[in-house]
Amino acid sequence: MRVVRIVTRLNRGGPLRQLCALVPGLARRGAVGPVLVGEPAAGEEDASDELEGLGVDVVRVPGLRRGIAPASDWRAFRWMLSYLRRARPDVVHTHMGKAGALGRLAACAAGVPVRVHTFHGHHLSAPFPGGLLARTAERLLGALTTSAVALSPLQRRDLVVRYRVLPDAKVALVGPGIDLDAVRAAVDPARVAELRARFAVPYRRLALWLGRFVPPKDPRLLVRALRCLEADGRRSVRVVMAGDGPLRRAVEAEASDLVAAGALVFPGTVASPAALVAASDLVVLSSRSEGTPIALLESAALGVPAVSTAVGGVPDVLRDRATGLLAAPGDARGLADAIATLCRDDGLRARLGATARAEADGRFGAGRLVTDTLALYERLLARTPLLARNRDGSPGGG
């Protein structure tokens, strides 16, 4: 089976973590092909070398980038159309908004029999006018889509019921998965001890917020929650807010009092995130919008309990009072109370962390992701008319 995957960009986020688990695993089971990737924005990291290091053929698409840019978009579309006509894959699988739009258009024009798109993020729920434009575009692209992939039941309901961008029959649920063994192998005990010595302080538990400083991640909500704890005299936690992004400098300035009080530290991007997770007593997410955050899968893999706002696919990953604690989105006081609860109860942290690790192996591993994705491709190809298939009329022509 020949599969061409198209992604807008490859920064060190959730889509990259999933592709690192999925693409090599599919290749080992006979579903082979390159990943076509666009150009990073100015000042944005490009982590395509991580995929290449796993033996994946990464091909750069000229002109493919975020945002609306008619000349560049047309250039990217024409390049992909020419590439797909030559490659004649059985499946084109797109990820992220821009790659999803141009990639499905090019795949349809090239006669690719199966066109799949995974919804990773939150662009359909973006404020006006972005969300409206995204929903309108997806309704139009639905006619070109053989199947969409939702990462969680809530995301599936959003696509089918809330936003009505696709019919029920065209949306498949394939939960997220990562290479849990690789996450665990990346934890060097010496590095964990070094990070613990660097960030932990007496009489405070160490919590980790890990992500990009962008509005959907709502880092300011966590700052407000920490202020609640400090004002109440519950000085039980120190939070490491690790990462970068357009809001970072503003959040640092707003939280200077918390930094001075020892409740908060901003180290920037950390080279060994798995070790930092392992060095922490708990992981915290404060998002207002999410697909399925990979940080929760990584913390579960390492047995570190989490506190998160109950948004997007989070409740499907983090079970309240079983593998972590949930708070309402936007509720600084509720988030503060959940953090304080985990900080003061050693037994609860240990129990939630152990349950999270046990569930991760069955639910969030790379093997399950590969099996589910391959089964989806095979079902879709089995429904494809013979005349629409490549070469000898069978899926898996080699």
Looking at the fold, whether 168 and 309 belong to one and the same domain comes out as: no
pLDDT band per the 50, 70, 90 thresholds, residue 396:
very low
Looking at the fold, whether 170 and 186 belong to one and the same domain comes out as: no
pLDDT band per the 50, 70, 90 thresholds, residue 395:
very low
- Give yes or no for residue 187 having a pLDDT over 90: yes
- Give yes or no for residue 244 having a pLDDT over 50: yes
Nearest Cα neighbor of 194 from 298, 275, 301 is 275
pTM: 0.86
Looking at the fold, whether 44 and 159 belong to one and the same domain comes out as: yes
Residue 397, in any domain of the structure? no
Query: Three-class SS of residue 83?
Result: helix
- Give yes or no for residue 389 having a pLDDT over 70: no
**pLDDT value of residue 313:** 84
Looking at the fold, whether 344 and 210 belong to one and the same domain comes out as: yes
Please count the CA atoms within 13 angstroms of the CA of 170 that sit on its side-chain side.
23
Looking at the fold, whether 157 and 201 belong to one and the same domain comes out as: no
* Percent of the chain with pLDDT strictly greater than 70: 96
The stretch 242-268 carries a mean pLDDT of: 96
**pLDDT value of residue 118:** 95
* Per-residue exposure over 295-320, b if at least 16 CB sit within 10 Å of its own CB, e if not: bbbbbbbbbbbbbbbbbbbbbbbbee
Indicate the number of domains in the chain.
2
E strands, the chain, in order: 3-7, 35-37, 58-60, 91-95, 114-118, 147-150, 171-173, 205-210, 237-242, 264-268, 282-285, 306-309, 324-327
Looking at the fold, whether 200 and 133 belong to one and the same domain comes out as: no
Looking at the fold, whether 240 and 120 belong to one and the same domain comes out as: no
Looking at the fold, whether 330 and 225 belong to one and the same domain comes out as: yes
The stretch 147-167 carries a mean pLDDT of: 92
* Percent of the chain with pLDDT strictly greater than 90: 77
The stretch 20-32 carries a mean pLDDT of: 96
Residue 396, in any domain of the structure? no
- Give yes or no for residue 115 having a pLDDT over 70: yes
Q: What is the CATH number of the domain that holds 275?
A: 3.40.50.2000
Looking at the fold, whether 111 and 218 belong to one and the same domain comes out as: no
> How far is the C-alpha of 365 from the C-alpha of 375, rounded, in Å?
16
- Give yes or no for residue 370 having a pLDDT over 80: yes
Query: Three-class SS of residue 277?
Result: helix
Looking at the fold, whether 19 and 159 belong to one and the same domain comes out as: yes
CA 375 to chain CA mean position, Å: 22
Looking at the fold, whether 225 and 331 belong to one and the same domain comes out as: yes
Nearest Cα neighbor of 293 from 212, 348, 182, 172 is 212
Residue-number span of the structural domain to which 100 is assigned: 3-179+365-388
Token readout for 168 is 């029920």
**pLDDT value of residue 328:** 97
Looking at the fold, whether 307 and 374 belong to one and the same domain comes out as: no
Residue 180 buriedness (CB in 10 A; 0-12 / 13-18 / 19+): buried
